[in-house]
Amino acid sequence: MNTESNAVPESSLDARENAPTIERATRPFYWSVRRELWENRAIYIAPLAAAGVYLFAFLIGMTRLPDKMRQLSALDPMEQQHAIIMPYEFAAGLMMATTLIVAGFYCLDALHSERRDRSILFWKSLPVSDGITVLSKASIPLVIQPLLTVAITVVTQFIMLLLSSAVLAGHGMSVATYWAQVSLLQMSLGLFYHLFTVHVLMHAPFYAWFLLISGWARGVAILVWAFVPPLAIIIVEMLVFNTSHFANMLRSQLSGGAEAIPFPGRMPIEPGMEFTPGHFLLSPRLWIGLAVGAAFLFAAARFRRNREPI
């Protein structure tokens, strides 16, 4: 073809046409992610609302804080710290639970809603590949939501700390002892580690599976296809072989490997062995899971190309 013959005058359009390949790939990705946030505001509204409600409840409970501190001083240091840190861990848990629910619903709907309202015909009229679109949708539960969860949790915990300090100081009690028990930095590092290893790396195949189903099934069938095949495998395995390897595998993948991963703030310990980042990164289960997730995403991109609007 002879594009040279079309003597288009030099303009900013041409500058962007000739932009480096990296920018050509990242620009559509960046805008596709923003597009997801415009459409699905629950991604940030839900955890913000949960944080607001929790802070309100915490504020009410604040009236009992001085009494509680007095009672605690009778306990040994371990129990003391545990009792003080509890509300902070609960805040992190609430954020994570909220995010998990939103992420699940998001993924089950992400590639379905654009077919349902036929807007896929508009999105496909733009130079954005199916792969970029699917990756941008996958990045919501795997990148955006974990980062949001850490940020909102840290801010929430910081506000809790400030509120507690103010109340304690108002009652003429030692703020320093309280602060010594609550290590925000350690808690947020723990939370980040937990989110990255469990919610991102281990849960990736589940999100990818949900995305695949949302791009393939339609209507209520999405819920059926998302949950019935795994359930069917579990039941058949149980009836035929009288084993439950698949169920155990799913369970350990969901919980992140160690059945008893403690709440962020302490390093997770797997029974019988140290749960170190090195050990985690070398475990074949992690990489098999990620490979399966990548295959699901690849299939989801294929389906997006093939499937007609509903």
Partner 1 sequence: MACIEARGLRKAFGANVALDGVNLRVEEGRILGIMGPNGAGKTTALNAILGLTPYQGELRVLGRDPWTERDRLMRDVCFISDVAVLPRWIRVAQLLEYVAGVHPRFDRAKADGFLTKTTIHRASKVRELSKGMVAQLHLAVVMAIDARLLVLDEPTLGLDILYRKQFYDSLLNDYYDRSRTIVITTHQVEEIQNVLTDVMFMDRGRIVFGCSMEDFESRYVEVMVKPEQVAAARALKPFHERQALGRSVLLFDLKPDSADRRQLSGLGEVRTPSIADLFVAVVGNSTAKSAANPADAPKGVVR
Q: Which residues make up the interface to partner 1 (CB under 8 A)?
A: 1-2, 6, 13, 16-17, 19, 24, 27-28, 30-32, 34-35, 38-39, 114, 117-119, 121-130, 132, 305-306, 308
Contact assessment for residue 138 and residue 208, using Cβ atoms and an 8 Å cutoff: yes
* Residue type, position 157, single letter: Q
Q: What residues does 273 pair with on adjacent strands?
A: 270
Q: What sign does the dihedral 168-169-173-179 (CA atoms) show?
A: positive
Dihedral of CA atoms 194, 199, 205, 207 in degrees, nearest 10, equals -170
Q: What residues does 270 pair with on adjacent strands?
A: 273
Q: How far is the CB of 239 from partner 1 (least distance, A)?
A: 36
CB closer to partner 1 out of 123 and 192: 123
CB closer to partner 1 out of 32 and 98: 32
Q: How far is the CB of 35 from partner 1 (least distance, A)?
A: 6
Q: How far is the CB of 122 from partner 1 (least distance, A)?
A: 5
Q: What are φ and ψ of residue 173, in 5° steps?
A: -105, 165
Q: How far is the CB of 12 from partner 1 (least distance, A)?
A: 9
CB closer to partner 1 out of 12 and 242: 12
Q: How far is the CB of 45 from partner 1 (least distance, A)?
A: 14
What single string gives the DSSP state of each residue in 229-262? HHHHHHHHHHHHHS--HHHHHHHHHHHTS-TTPP
CB closer to partner 1 out of 28 and 293: 28
Cα separation, 146 vs 102, in Å, equals: 12
Cα separation, 115 vs 303, in Å, equals: 11
CB closer to partner 1 out of 46 and 132: 132
The tokens of 159 are what?
A: 């506000």
Cα separation, 226 vs 213, in Å, equals: 6
Contact assessment for residue 80 and residue 73, using Cβ atoms and an 8 Å cutoff: yes
Q: How far is the CB of 186 from partner 1 (least distance, A)?
A: 39
CB closer to partner 1 out of 119 and 243: 119
The count of C-alpha atoms lying within 13 angstroms of the C-alpha of 283, restricted to the half-sphere facing its C-beta, is 19
Q: How far is the CB of 151 from partner 1 (least distance, A)?
A: 23
